[in-house]
Amino acid sequence: MRGWFPIYLREMLILRRKLLRQIASMSVSPILYLIAFGLGMGSDITIHGRSYLEFLIPGLVAMTSMVQAFAIATEINVARFYWGIFEEFQASPLSDPAYVTGEALAGITRAILSVLVVILIAFLSGVRLSYNLFFWLAVILNSFLFASLAIGLAMVVKSHADQSLLTNFVITPMAFLGGTFFPLDKMPIWVQSILKLLPLTPASEAIRASAYGQTPPGFPYLILTVLGCTLFGLAIKLVKKARD
């Protein structure tokens, strides 16, 4: 694992250089969803006894942290296909686990940053939720999972264009169906059981329960941990295979 720090540091240097742009782009979609669904649907709707906005914000947290953690794949791809930096890593005495750790931590950092943006937006729209330890644990596990997935997929794709295809097929459906914008329990049972298989569903569940100040159920945390570690291991394998 030793040696992950330069990888992390590099991503942070790049992030810092375009921090304002990044924060602006991180805020666009939460604000749009907030306007479209939160204000558009009005304040009459309540879900589980809470206003729709209170329901929506944790969903946006789950979605944004997923999207931003997954976006590490784009950074890796640019570094790999456009600039060949990945070869600088491959030729240095850096173990594959260390590489994946550095990139995953960079993904988690981006995700946390974007969650802070959502929290700020929520605060400005007058929503008060509890951002406790369980909340952050769920955010970190969720972004760990999607950063690991992103690293693995970034090793498999053959071009930058493939990458956006994957985002379209993997991330966009999940963003809408993973318990983010509407409660799953209103769905037919068979749809529910399919949607429960999406990794974002337990994340939304855990994040929402903790944001409501409830003690969240343990099961979603278990799923996120197991799935995250599996994808992390897989990413290490795929990095090893990424030599032609």
Partner 1 sequence: MIEIVNLVKRYKTVKALNGVSFRVENGEMFAYLGPNGSGKTTTIRILTGLTKPTAGDAYLNGCHFERDSLKAKRQCGLVPQVINLDMELTVRENLDLHGRLFQMTSEERRARTDALLEYVELDDQCDRLVNHLSGGMKRRVMVARALLHAPEILFLDEPTVGLDPTIRRRIWSLLKKIQQAGTTIFLTTHYIEEAEFLADRVAFLDFGNIVQLDTPDNLKARIGEWALDKMVDGHMHTQYFPSREGAQAFIDQQQGSFSLRRVNLEDAFLTLTGKKVTADGSVAQVSTDHEPTAALLATGPDGP
Interacting residues toward partner 1 by CB under 8 A: 3, 5-6, 9-10, 13-14, 17-18, 79, 83-85, 87-95, 243-244
Q: Measured from the CB atom, is 93 or 218 closer to partner 1?
A: 93
Give the count of beta carbons closer than 10 Å to the beta carbon of residue 9.
12
Q: How far is the CB of 64 from partner 1 (least distance, A)?
A: 24
CA dihedral 188, 172, 178, 213 (to 10 degrees): -140
Q: Measured from the CB atom, is 128 or 243 closer to partner 1?
A: 243
Alpha carbons 212 and 131: distance in angstroms, whole number:
9
Alpha carbons 159 and 165: distance in angstroms, whole number:
10
Q: How far is the CB of 229 from partner 1 (least distance, A)?
A: 24
Q: How far is the CB of 240 from partner 1 (least distance, A)?
A: 10
Q: Measured from the CB atom, is 88 or 185 closer to partner 1?
A: 88
Reading the block at residue 64, the tokens are 């944004």
- Per the CB < 8 A criterion, the answer to whether 135 and 207 are in contact is yes
- Looking at residue 81, its amino acid is F
Q: Measured from the CB atom, is 95 or 164 closer to partner 1?
A: 95
- Per the CB < 8 A criterion, the answer to whether 114 and 198 are in contact is no
Q: Measured from the CB atom, is 48 or 240 closer to partner 1?
A: 240
- Per the CB < 8 A criterion, the answer to whether 146 and 178 are in contact is no
Q: Measured from the CB atom, is 87 or 185 closer to partner 1?
A: 87
Query: Residue 141, class by beta-carbon neighbours within 10 Å (0-12 exposed, 13-18 middle, 19+ buried)?
Result: buried
Reading the block at residue 82, the tokens are 């456009």
Q: How far is the CB of 72 from partner 1 (least distance, A)?
A: 15
Q: How far is the CB of 152 from partner 1 (least distance, A)?
A: 19
Alpha carbons 99 and 120: distance in angstroms, whole number:
32
Q: How far is the CB of 95 from partner 1 (least distance, A)?
A: 7
